[in-house]
Structure 1
Amino acid sequence: MSETSLDPAADLTRARQGDDAAFTRLVAPLRRELHAHCYRMLGSSHDADDALQDALLRAWKAIARFEGRSTLRSWLYTVATRTCLDLVESRGRRALPMDLGPSSERAVLDDPPLTEIAWLGPYSVSDLGGAPVARYEQREAVELAFVAALQHLPGNQRAALLLFEVLGFSTAEIATMMDTSTASVNSALQRARRIVADKVPAVSQQQTVRELGNDRIQQLVADYSTALEQGDADRLVALLTEDVTWSMPPLGHWYSGITAVMDFATEIPLTRCPSWHSLVTTANGQPAVACYLGMSPDSEHTAWSINVLTFREGKIAAVTSFIGAEHFPLFGLPPVH
């Protein structure tokens, strides 16, 4: 049973007595936002699945000892955060190709996947729950640039920044949640803010999309899809900023600047890939295109990549192509098209 509890107090009493259905009803309204928190901490939807499952199991085992000194939401965030910190310690941070080395000036034809790297993954955003607070709106806080920047922080700084800036907990609450002092939390916040400010654009993609408007965004996404499907290099180049980047985890090489990006695009996706079909979606709160690869326009096309688009000044400033059919179920997308 997963419906929202109509009587949380009664369900809390039942849950403390071992009623798992009551516990499920209690946590149901918070599952989505807790999952998003785990994704921000870990940079992977699959890791977030594991972390949330582990955290809720821990919470279920400990619910009898929950005394109500904090809200249930605060207590569940404490359990989820500590679970994620354990995973950060054991699994390390996730990366994008830009974190591994400089960009390539020409298309790399033989570019095998780097399977030993823990890659940042895309995220399917629906209703995240919780009210927008402090610096970051909820959708801004799952944008690629922000989540990628978080991966450069130690676990304690990552947790402190998210709990304070995104979720609105006080430094005293965070100190309790992380079993540390308020001075340590303030120090972690100060260091985290400096690093994130250096890596995250001043204007979020949420702001950019609002300024461009839905009609313009839809046209840009449609033109990008059409350029790929028709192998139209001129149409593609007209959509890109001069300093555009294109990366494709789990491939290690990436491209920066219109010349290098078009050399890659012309050499590989526009020429060597026989046929593309595409579906418009969203990932990390940003417009995205799901690409399916086929041997001919009339053949079956199979899931290939989720291409997350980043915009600036009315053009596409970055394409992050998350290659792999395993990403498609996250977005409710079919394996073939």
Structure 2
Amino acid sequence: MRDDEAVTGWALAARGGDERAVEQFVRATQLDVRRYVTHLSGDPQATDDLVQDTYVRALRSLPRFEGRSSARTWLLTIARRVVVDRIRSHAVRPRLAATDDWQSAAERVQPRGVPGFDEGVALADLLTALAPERREAFVLTQLLGLPYAAAAGVMGCPVGTVRSRVARAREALVALLTDAERAEPGDRSRALAGAVA
């Protein structure tokens, strides 16, 4: 759902204890939060935990939500803090993998044959090639459909900076796609990898 007024209305009603409004608020925002934390964190395996942490923090803070911004913008700001906190905590406490060949293990558990799967993988690969701040601006505005002003509020920077980052992200994505299309079919993955390096 993209209707920010309805989402904000549900958040305000939920603030007053309306359990149905809480349910509607979560349903209306869950996909956006999931997409955002997945792309922002770069760790699809942590997505469920990040989404859950976001809603735990949001629901605890809901009594203080005053509706000065849209509830979706408020929630994505919380999601951003959750991801930043996770990155910081993992930076000081590295995790050990149970296998030496982590890439093969990850590939074995990925679903195959799902419609749109290949395109989703290609988009994820392309997005990881972007600088983090450009990727965040692109995901917020182009994938989640947030207005530039709202994305600026989430990211804590001026609107012009968001516009610039999105424009540069688009340029980089077009260049990556052009390079990949020019490459021979077997060389496409190397072309993408070369563009990232």
Instruction: Name the TM-score class by shorter chain.
Output: 0.5 to 0.7
Cα-to-partner distance string for 1:291-310 (whole Å, 9 max, x where unaligned): xxxxxxxxxxxxxxxxxxxx
**Contact 1:85/1:155 (<8 A) preserved:** no
Instruction: Please say if 1:114 is aligned against 2:101.
Output: yes
SS at the partner of 1:69? coil
Is 1:191 the counterpart of 2:168? The answer is: yes
Q: Which runs of 5+ in 1 are unaligned?
A: 1-6, 93-111, 127-138, 205-241, 248-255, 257-337
Q: What's the secondary structure of 2:28's corresponding residue? A: helix
Q: How many residue pairs get matched?
A: 172
Give the direction of change, closer, same or farther, for the CA distance of 1:164–1:79 in structure 2 (3 Å limit): same
Quick check: which has more Rg, 1 or 2?
Answer: 1
- CA drift at 1:20: 6.0
Residue by residue over 1:248-302, the C-alpha shift from the partner in whole angstroms, topping out at 9 and shown as x without a partner, is xxxxxxxx7xxxxxxxxxxxxxxxxxxxxxxxxxxxxxxxxxxxxxxxxxxxxxx
The equivalences for 1:1-337 within 5 A come to 12-13=11-12, 15-17=14-16, 22-87=21-86, 113-115=100-102, 122=110, 143-200=120-177, 243-244=185-186
Matches of 1:146 and 1:31 in 2, distance apart? 20
Greater helix proportion: 2
Matched residue of 2:157: which SS? coil
Contact 1:85–1:156 at 8 Å: present in 2 too? Answer: no
Q: 1:60 Cα shift?
A: 0.9
C-alpha displacement at 1:56, in angstroms?
0.8
**Displacement after TM superposition at 1:35 (Å):** 1.4
Q: Secondary structure at the match of 2:53?
A: helix
Contiguous gaps of at least 5 residues in structure 2: 1-5, 92-98, 191-197
Task: Quote the Cα distance in structure 1 between the aligned partners of 2:28 and 2:145.
Answer: 18
Q: Deviations over 1:60-103 (max 9, x none)?
A: 121112122233233222322343344456658xxxxxxxxxxx
Aligned residues: CA RMSD: 4.1
Q: Which has the higher strand share?
A: 1
Q: Confirm or deny: 8 A CA contact 1:157 1:189 kept in the other structure.
A: yes
Whole-angstrom CA distance in 2 between matches of 1:196 and 1:176 = 24
Give the residue type in structure 2 aligned to 1:181.
P
Q: Is the 8 A contact 1:44 1:122 kept in 2?
A: no
Q: Give the Cα separation in 2 of the matches to 1:18 and 1:243.
A: 56
2:179 & 2:65 partners in 1: Cα distance?
41
SS of the residue corresponding to residue 70 of structure 1 reads coil
